[in-house]
Chain A
Amino acid sequence: MILPALAPALSVAVPLAAAFLAVVAPRPRLLVGVTVPAMLAVMALAVLGVRQGGPLVLAVGGWEPPLGIALVADGLSTAFLVATALTIGTVLVVALPQFPIRQNETRAGWAFWPLAFLLWAALNAVFLSGDLFNIYVAIEFVTLATLALVALEGKAKQVEAAMRYAMFALFGSLAYLLGVALLYAAHGTLDIGLLAQLPAQDTASLVAAGLITAGLAAKTALFPFHAWLPPAHAGAPAPASAMLSALVPKASFYVLLRFWFDAMPEAAGAIALQLLGALGATAIVYGSILAVRQNRLKQLVAYSTVAQIGYLFLVFPLAGGSAEPQPWTAGAWTGSVFHAVSHAFAKAAMFLAVGHAVLAAGHDRMSAMDGLTRRMPMTAFALGVSAVTLMGLPPSGGFTAKFLLLTAAFASGQVLWAAIIVLGGVLAAAYLFRPLARAFLPDRGRYGTVPRAQQALPLALAMLSVVLGIVSAAPYDFLQTGRPAAAEEGLE
């Protein structure tokens, strides 16, 4: 069984190699045609390996921590790897006709491919790193690739959005790095597994935890650090937006999850956890209200991401904080991961579908939706299905996530969070049904179209988020692989 053990290394190496090849031999069709199936195969190996043998640990160069660094693939990281592979894989295929290299060569057409592959490699590196400094490096690569993707077409607005993002991201990186340095000074290790065994109630650790959390929250675009997200995600070309909105905030959230639940589970004070929850709740309400007020499709979808990110942070008050796992802990923790994954599928599908609608209409005003059910039924369907997930309605992964979070909120007696979760769903309906209703209007004027095969891809991605809601038992169990036994118990 040497092959599954190699899966972690391959899932970083393969996209990285593709990124280099895309620079020296820019042939996107060939690269996508080889890389995407190869990565799906690697994912299958990783899933098989984790299911059969538990977490896969690869000590790079044969050096065990704390001397060396480890790549760890447990249930959680593998879930994020698979979600990333499916999302980016689809995005890249959709992007093929939108970023051609051969005909009328443009900078955007050329630069998109290495950046996209680099982003993929960097994301996977984040998900696999078992070491806080390693994570720092990987996250910096994510930021770099994101920055370049936002500014890809070089228009003034995009460059401005990229600059704004750079400011927030830089602050985030500095804060995170400072925190990491403090931790290293205090404990002499940055390995997550080793940190977990140390007592972490000293001042240095707490300050470090605060800095790390603030830095990562800025990168996740948690309210009040959200201001960079809408212009950046709405400004980038649709396939880039799809990756940025669906995956990039999840990377920093993933690290937060690792940090609070694996590295320093006992450091979290009740106030800090409630504060994170409150920021998440504010993001849900505030982001949704702003989304309702948008008149541009891509802006609306981008603000929806601000709101949806808020749900992720409810995991901290609902599952975090006590040394003794409560019966609802596993449900809340898994619920937030379900939310992250199904939102990734749905948001990527939505950006891709909106991108198609915008391509056909030539602009991204609301009227680009007019008559969509008739002109491009598959695109309309993709939008509808992904909207169902974002609203958290059954049957979808979004509903499963919401149900698990709601159950935890009631079981732990934190009814306020339950109210926010439910309110967020209604608000999501308010901003999503506005464009959807227009799809039923008759269309006026002239519209282009998009080939059916292209339209089918976002639909497939959106359906994945529904499948996650129907076939949720296996993913639920899979996610628990490698978690401490006590935390696996769910509410019955």
Chain B
Amino acid sequence: MNQALPLIILATALVPSLITFFLAEDRVWVRNALNLGGAVLKLALVVFMLAEVGRGQVYQTEFELVPGLSLVLRIDALSLLFVTLSTVLWLLTTVYAIAYLHGGKNLPRFFGFFSLCVFATTGIAFSGSLITFFLFYELLTLATWPLVVHKGDAASIRAGRTYLGYTLTGSAILLVGIVWLESLTGPVAFAAPPQLAGLDAWSLRAIFLLLIAGLGVKAALVGLHVWLPQAMVAPAPVSALLHAVAVVKAGAFGIVRVVYDIYGIALVQEIDMGLPLAAIASATILFGSIRALTQHGLKPLLAYSTVSQVSYIVLGAALFSQTAVVGGLVHLVHQGLMKITLFFCAGVFDERAGVHDIDEIDGIGARLPWTSVAFTLGALGMIGLPPIAGFASKWYLGTGGLEAGQPWVVAVLAVSTLLNGAYFLPVLYRIWFREPGPNAAAAETEGPAMLLAPPIATAALALAAGLFAAAALSPLGWATLIVERQYAP
């Protein structure tokens, strides 16, 4: 069972994906049943594993492909944090996507690749070695591209090209880093970090830079972020997937693995890479927020907000403090919940009222109250208002910064919070307090349930994650468990 369970969980996403590709367009029910069934089954299995891993169980499966290239699947507490997030959000996003794309074209292709993305994301979370991580990371790139270009118009194709240009170059750099590292140490497994202490510091720095640069493309670090706002042309469920569940998270998750499970935070400090990484993360946080201020479109605003927020995770990993790591890890979940809420809502605003730009949103709260409430919760959470989840992340990050002897982190967080407020509050003001504009006046009523339930659910989860942060099974509780178990010095 311990050997098979990771494979079974991977199969819950892979099998529906492969079957979906070959279904005829009009077999809607089979397709939906497969995808939802896979998602529900996976959720059940993940809940079971949460309980087992919580009691200290570790799952591992390994087989060798060629000498030096082994596929290692290993489930530890950190894997589960990411998998649980992606599983819950996959289920909700599938529900949402079914309603959102209802009656559209090329849906077998869409849902096929959608499930394939989830398969790849799960694989990333389960990866027990660096090269396994790379295999799934690259598969994720390939599986998301057809989703980005799904609409098939010139803008999508252009966005797809930018996306691939950045991500494939990033993976190439990552691969060089991995092979270089493994040529010095042999295959690198996360469970047994390689002995790096005796190696030449400059090689270690160069490899670290290659790894972080390769991962930083997906994590949208400043300068490598260009693909992310462009990829906004994709349908709303895809944006939700890219921003909250899969792509940017894969990059951030990878950075956490590199810093903690390969180098170890102590060594990162020793070769003087911790501070530069924290600085880049901070720069990204501020840069994303400032760019968000100047956006007219709702989705571009959310995109730049993602650029900014994902770097909280990187910042947490870069600081030499347990509290900061907890903050970073928990933000992986918190940002996911809040950001997916915002994207779901943006999709509903678009679908029901034709809202694309911020100035079209005036007075929409009266017409689409539930969606607007969910959006408001998400936005306030992003700003960091207690008791919504985002507050806990920022609190831990700030405290961690002080612990690590880097008080400037608090300043970065404060400025970022002000900027978050500066770009989100005007939108909220327009939603609730402006007279209904033409879009609101022409808006259809709220509904169908399948479009409405997912954002409400994620907003509620974001609120609950903040309210019950002290509970053992809250994201915060779990992140603390990870740090105590794996990264305690």
Contact = CB atoms under 8 A, between A and B. Distances in A.
A437 B138 contact: no
Nearest to B157: A437
Contact of B64 (A374, A399, A423, A473): A473
A373 B157 CA distance: 14
A472 B105 CA distance: 38
A385 B433 CA distance: 52
A422 B175 contact: yes
B168 A437 contact: no
B176 A374 contact: no
A403 B69 contact: yes
A331 B164 contact: no
A440 B66 contact: no
Interface string B313-356: 00000000000000000000000000000000000000000000
B172 interface: yes
Contacts of B105: 374
Contacts of A9: none
A407 interface: yes
Contact of A437 (B66, B141, B161, B175): B161
A288 interface: no
Contacts of B173: 422
A440 B65 contact: no
In this complex, the member of B106, B157, B172, B176 whose beta carbon has the largest number of chain A beta carbons within 10 angstroms is B172
* SS of A interface (majority): helix
A294 to B, nearest CB: 17
B65 A400 contact: yes
B64 A440 contact: no
Interface residues of B, number: 41
Interface stretch (B38-46, B92-100, B177-185, B289-297): B177-185
B66 A472 contact: yes
Contact of B65 (A374, A423, A438, A473): A473
Contacts of B21: 377, 381
A17 B164 CA distance: 49
A425 B149 contact: no
B323 to A, nearest CB: 37
Given A433-B164, A437-B157, A426 B169 contact: yes
Contacts of A399: 135, 138
B36 to A, nearest CB: 23
Contacts of B63: 473
Interface stretch (A36-44, A161-169, A388-396): A388-396
Contact of B168 (A331, A395, A426, A476): A426
A441 to B, nearest CB: 5
B67 interface: yes
Nearest to B63: A473
B483 to A, nearest CB: 31
Contact of B69 (A400, A429, A442): A400
Residue from the set A422, A438, A442, A470 with the largest chain B CB neighbour count within 10 Å? A422
B151 to A, nearest CB: 8
Contacts of A377: 21, 108-109
B66 A473 contact: yes
B149 A440 contact: yes
B66 A394 contact: no
A95 interface: no
A393 B142 contact: yes
A394 B138 contact: yes
B74 interface: no
Contacts of B149: 437, 440
Contacts of A422: 172-173, 175-176
A441 B105 CA distance: 12
B66 A373 contact: no
B134 interface: yes
Contacts of B161: 433, 437
Nearest to A385: B142
Q: Which of B21, B67, B146 has the most CB of A within 10 A?
A: B67
A202 interface: no
B68 A440 contact: no
A53 to B, nearest CB: 24
Nearest to B70: A473
B142 A388 contact: yes
A70 interface: no
10 contacts: A330-B67, A373-B106, A393-B141, A395-B139, A400-B65, A406-B179, A407-B182, A409-B179, A422-B172, A440-B146
Interface of A: 330-331, 334, 373-374, 377, 381, 388, 391, 393-395, 399-400, 403-404, 406-407, 409-411, 418-419, 422-423, 425-426, 429, 433, 437-438, 440-442, 469-470, 472-473, 476, 490-492
Given A331-B68, A440-B160, 14 more contacts: A331-B67, A373-B146, A400-B65, A403-B69, A404-B69, A422-B176, A425-B168, A426-B168, A433-B164, A437-B149, A440-B157, A472-B65, A491-B68, A492-B68
